[in-house]
């Protein structure tokens, strides 16, 4: 498996390979970590990409325990581990992020494609700077956040968007937005009109698909926003769901990924065809009032 280009992607890829190697030899986490300089809990976190072993010696001992004797393969995985230790671009802002968000950002950065649904807001990857800032400012007194937190959050959101328009291997995005989320005025009429124009602009890109789920539809509706992140090579599809109190649920279990994939497919069937999105946005822009 070729090592992906970003630190979190490398860590996820390495963890996935280690989990497959352990399962191949029929060892439990407890058996694999017995007598090792790390616990079974840490090994589980390594396998899910949450952290790395740091020590090349510990990784080598683990690989030998799994029966790996090919020195080139061992060195390849040690090199992957070494490069996975470098920081992602967003780590300077990590102190102000809610729990779970740094891991989500790393997985999103590793993804080739994201399929996402949002029933209450414009999806983060499609937001304008003005919309994102107005959204945070509106919740400032409720969430008791600081101006520094808002600026960091907006900055990170704008940098995430760059993945859609980068020249090499841009992120593929398929977004489904619920009509009430688009009609909910955030920051005023001009902010919303600019936001509609931005969605229209991004939806015109070859790598971006945007569908609108009309309020009058009678098909499938889901109450939570979620993202399906399709990673590179043989890495598992990962899902992310926002919960209350800024909690972020992330899983790469096949059952969960399959369930949310079915939700997305049902929502897509209930939504308007993507070809109708520009016309729908233009109508919203004409109808919106203070």
- Picking from 267, 288, 123, the residue whose alpha carbon sits closest to that of residue 203 is 123
- pLDDT at res. 94: 58
DSSP assignments along 102-145, one per residue: HHHHHHHHHEEEEEEEESSS--GGG--HHHHHHHHHHTHHHHT-
Distances (CA, A) of 154 to 133, 151, 253: 6, 5, 31
- pLDDT at res. 47: 81
Q: How many Å is the Cα radius of gyration of the chain? A: 21
Distances (CA, A) of 47 to 94, 144, 277: 22, 36, 41
pLDDT per residue, tens digit, the chain (290 aa), is: 333 446 676 777 788 888 889 989 999 999 999 998 888 888 888 887 767 777 888 899 999 999 998 898 888 888 878 776 666 655 555 556 666 677 788 788 888 999 999 999 999 999 999 999 999 898 888 887 888 888 888 988 998 999 999 988 899 999 999 999 999 999 999 999 999 999 999 999 999 999 999 998 888 889 899 999 998 766 788 899 987 656 678 888 889 999 999 999 999 999 999 999 999 999 999 998 76
Distances (CA, A) of 182 to 138, 195, 242: 17, 9, 19
Q: Tell me how far apart the alpha carbons of residues 28 and 25 are, in angstroms, rounded to a whole number.
A: 9
CA-CA-CA-CA dihedral for 194, 200, 204, 208, to nearest 10: 100
- pLDDT at res. 67: 92
- pLDDT at res. 180: 95
Distances (CA, A) of 117 to 67, 149, 281: 43, 25, 17
- Picking from 160, 174, 202, the residue whose alpha carbon sits closest to that of residue 115 is 174
- pLDDT at res. 282: 96
- pLDDT at res. 101: 76
The residue behind tokens 């790598």 is 207
């Amino acid at each position: 498996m070729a090592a992906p280009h970003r630190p979190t992607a490398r860590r996820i890829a390495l963890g996935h390979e280690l989990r497959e190697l352990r399962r191949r030899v029929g060892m439990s986490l407890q058996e694999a970590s017995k007598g090792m300089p790390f616990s079974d809990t840490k090994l589980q976190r390594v396998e899910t990409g949450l952290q790395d072993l740091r020590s090349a010696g510990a990784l080598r001992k683990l690989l030998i325990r799994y029966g790996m004797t090919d020195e080139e393969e061992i060195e390849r995985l040690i090199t992957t581990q070494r490069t996975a230790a470098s920081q992602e671009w967003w780590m300077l802002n990590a102190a102000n992020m809610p729990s779970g968000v740094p891991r989500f950002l790393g997985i999103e950065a590793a993804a080739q494609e994201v399929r996402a649904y949002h029933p209450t807001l414009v999806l983060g990857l499609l937001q304008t700077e003005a919309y994102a800032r107005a959204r945070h400012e509106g919740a400032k007194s409720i969430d008791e956040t600081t101006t520094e937190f808002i600026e960091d959050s907006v900055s990170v959101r704008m940098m995430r968007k760059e993945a859609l328009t980068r020249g090499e291997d841009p992120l593929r995005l398929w977004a489904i937005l619920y009509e009430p989320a688009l009609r909910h005025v955030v920051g005023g009429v001009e902010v919303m009109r600019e936001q509609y124009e931005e969605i229209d602009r991004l939806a015109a890109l070859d790598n971006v698909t945007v569908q609108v789920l009309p309020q009058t539809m009678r098909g499938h509706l889901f109450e939570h926003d979620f993202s399906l992140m399709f990673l590179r090579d043989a890495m598992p599809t990962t899902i992310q769901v926002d919960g209350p109190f800024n909690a972020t649920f992330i899983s790469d279990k096949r059952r969960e990924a399959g369930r949310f994939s079915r939700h997305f497919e049902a929502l897509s069937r209930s939504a308007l065809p993507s070809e109708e999105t520009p016309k729908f946005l233009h109508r919203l822009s004409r109808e919106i009032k203070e």
